Chain A
Amino acid sequence: MKPRTADKIATAIIVTFALLIVAILVGLLGYILIRGMSHISWDFLTSAPQKIRAGGGVGPQLFNSLFLLVLTLIITIPLGLGAGIFMAEYARPGRLTNFIRLVVEVLSSFPSIIVGLFGLLLIVNTFNLGFSLISGALALTFFNLPLMVRITEQAFRTVPKQQKEAGFALGLSKWKIVTSVLLPVALPTIITGTILSAGRVFGEAAALMFTAGMSSPRLDFSNWNPLSPSSPLNPFRPAETLAVHIWKVNSEGLAPDALQIAAGASAVLVLTVLIFNLAARYFGRFIYRKLTASKRMN
């Protein structure tokens, strides 16, 4: 074959395959949204699920997912920031740093079901917290922490060295430099990364099945006392999230409209992740403009 013909054929194949991936995404999103949208209504988003009858909603599950996300971020962000800043600014190259890097890498590549099982063993059984929101939040912290560390470290590494050196030249302490010179510049990247990781947390199910549980007690949305067992805010109650609900409805659902419920819930999940993605882009740029007075983010 002539090299020119081979080149043309190869190019055609590469372009076809690349466009195939785009088609897969469009097909996926289109299928999920078109199938699910017809089932989404205010009633579906707010009412409680039905076990056997049709017409159940996903209200408590949606609330649980959001609440769990907030709890997880409250625990993860400070820890991830601390460890990430340490890796970027304090760790000296050497054995210990390499070891910590390995730890982060291994932790982030553990399958999420292993994280869930570990949560079951340590938090649910050993700490005796039972299937509860707080167990789920801790399991998700193990799951999300390595990502958060990486995001923070990378964000700090992109800050120009001169800014740090200028700070040292002015006689600032290291802590001052980290908090008032580096952090504001790194913050937009950190926020973008955090919102993206929030999308991952929002859709996670395998780590939650054995930690946050697969049932949701009857919630009384007029009771906002966090200690009462029927209050939605009580962190010690079991909480089935949206993603777990999709799995449960598909594999052991008894309701006659199980497939529609799964379709609707999937659409809600995907829409939320899409919103997170868009928010990450927009918000990152917005904060960057606010903090640095420059128009573009690298």
Chain B
Amino acid sequence: MRVKPKKSRFEKHHIENFIGRAYMSFCVLLLIVIIVSMVYFVASKGIANFVSGEVKVSDFLFGTKWSPEADTPSYGAFPFIAGSFLVTLLAALIASPLSICAALFMTEIVPGWGKKLLQPVIELLSGIPSVVYGFVGLSVIVPFLRNTLPGQGIGVAAGALVLSVMILPTITSVAADALASLPQNLKESSFALGATRWQTISRVILPTTFPAIMTGVVLGMARAFGEALAVQMVIGNAPFVPRSLFESASTLTSVITLGMGNTTMGSPQNNALWSMALVLMLMTFVFVLLVRMLERRNKI
């Protein structure tokens, strides 16, 4: 039998390897191209108004008057920025205690069936689409607020309530992971010293896992900040800085949602909406940065 002595560079497995590697590198490259072009396109549209001198950056960020259709139009986006931050912070304030309790329930109080009960609940809650949350908010929370509290029901409070339910699963799952990965001996030594469960939770478990739990809170806030439709449906969409929680207001996302379809591309009003999109994008970077910082603290 003759054996081929020459070893070709182009054997079948070499070619396969090469094609596989090339294809995978292409996929990764595509990811990078997508994100670079995303940042580039949104940023170039977002700064168009500032470059052309139509609007000053300070007027846009801190101006409280949004009247793009007036004779002397003004594009102050402060009411929307304030609205976004307000609903996000409120939602996080409502959701964090609930989520942390749920995570403690799953990992510390009844680790067996607690996890079995809450895990599917969390998964289902995170699977419900945001428009459905908006619809339920509009048909349950808004009438409830209208009947029990002053105001029309729509407003910051309704938006924050809807958002808080939406970010519950995010915070809970991150917090539960953090609690579950805590070394057992920390807890055990605390119990051995005679501490009760609550003493162990409040003085050992929570302080140790604090950065990791905060990661979950920040991720939840990022989701709340960027959520568009559910908030838009319940917040009322008035372009003013809210003076009370039960007053109609707007967020960056709700203004973009409503305005983008009704304005012509390239007009100053449309460009102002793109500037808001740019603010949203920059906030996303801030949230990612925060998460990274917290994760770094968590490692040490």
Q: Which A residues form the contact surface with B (CB < 8 A)?
A: 3-4, 6-7, 9-11, 13-18, 20-22, 24-25, 28-29, 31-32, 35, 78-83, 85-87, 90, 100, 102-107, 109-115, 117-118, 120-122, 125, 142, 145-146, 149, 173-176, 178-179, 196, 199-200, 202-206, 209-210, 214, 243-244, 246-247, 250-251, 259, 262-263, 266, 269-270, 273-274, 276-277
Interface check B32, CB cutoff 8 A? yes
B-side interface residues, number (CB < 8 Å): 86
Neighbouring A residues of B121 by C-beta, 8 Å: 21-22, 25
Which residue of chain B lies nearest to A4 when distances are taken between CB atoms in the complex?
B196
Chain B, residues 117-151, CB within 8 Å of chain A (1/0): the string is 11001111101111110111011100000000000
Whether the pair A114, B280 counts as a contact (CB closer than 8 A) is yes
Whether the pair B138, A113 counts as a contact (CB closer than 8 A) is no
Pull 22 A–B residue pairs with CB atoms less than 8 Å apart, ordered by A.
Answer: A3-B195, A3-B199, A11-B198, A17-B102, A18-B104, A21-B99, A21-B125, A22-B117, A28-B125, A79-B30, A86-B24, A107-B38, A111-B280, A114-B38, A114-B277, A120-B260, A174-B20, A175-B16, A196-B127, A244-B131, A247-B229, A266-B132
**16 additional contacts (CB under 8 A) given A142-B34, A173-B16, A205-B129:** A4-B196, A13-B101, A16-B101, A21-B99, A35-B139, A79-B27, A86-B25, A109-B219, A109-B288, A111-B227, A118-B41, A175-B21, A247-B229, A250-B233, A273-B128, A277-B123
Neighbouring B residues of A206 by C-beta, 8 Å: 130, 228-229, 253, 257
Answer whether A250 and B226 are a contact pair too, CB < 8 Å, given A117-B256, A175-B13, A199-B127.
no
User: Would you list which residues of chain B between 29 and 60 have a CB under 8 Å from chain A?
Assistant: 30-32, 34-35, 37-38, 41-42, 45
Main secondary structure of the interface of B (DSSP, over half): helix
Answer whether A209 and B257 are a contact pair too, CB < 8 Å, given A100-B28, A246-B131.
yes
Whether the pair A18, B132 counts as a contact (CB closer than 8 A) is no
Most B CB within 10 A of own CB, among A11, A102, A118: A118
Which residue of chain A lies nearest to B30 when distances are taken between CB atoms in the complex?
A79
Q: Which listed residue, A106, A176, A214, touches B13 by the CB 8 Å rule?
A: A176
Whether the pair B233, A145 counts as a contact (CB closer than 8 A) is no
Whether the pair A6, B196 counts as a contact (CB closer than 8 A) is yes
Answer whether A14 and B105 are a contact pair too, CB < 8 Å, given A107-B34, A111-B280, A209-B257.
yes
Interface check B75, CB cutoff 8 A? no
Whether the pair A114, B284 counts as a contact (CB closer than 8 A) is yes
Interface check B294, CB cutoff 8 A? no
Q: Which listed residue, A25, A81, A100, A122, touches B125 by the CB 8 Å rule?
A: A25
Whether the pair B20, A178 counts as a contact (CB closer than 8 A) is yes
Whether the pair A21, B24 counts as a contact (CB closer than 8 A) is no
The minimal Cβ–Cβ distance linking A110 to chain B, given in whole angstroms, is: 6
Whether the pair A21, B27 counts as a contact (CB closer than 8 A) is no
Whether the pair B127, A259 counts as a contact (CB closer than 8 A) is no
Most B CB within 10 A of own CB, among A35, A176, A251, A274: A251
The minimal Cβ–Cβ distance linking B39 to chain A, given in whole angstroms, is: 9
Cα(A251)–Cα(B274), bound, Å: 22
Neighbouring B residues of A149 by C-beta, 8 Å: 31
Whether the pair B105, A214 counts as a contact (CB closer than 8 A) is no
Neighbouring A residues of B168 by C-beta, 8 Å: 21, 24
Cα(A22)–Cα(B113), bound, Å: 13
Neighbouring B residues of A274 by C-beta, 8 Å: 124, 127
Cα(A247)–Cα(B138), bound, Å: 11
The minimal Cβ–Cβ distance linking A7 to chain B, given in whole angstroms, is: 4
The minimal Cβ–Cβ distance linking A275 to chain B, given in whole angstroms, is: 11
Cα(A85)–Cα(B17), bound, Å: 13
Answer whether A246 and B42 are a contact pair too, CB < 8 Å, given A29-B124, A82-B23.
no
The minimal Cβ–Cβ distance linking A135 to chain B, given in whole angstroms, is: 15
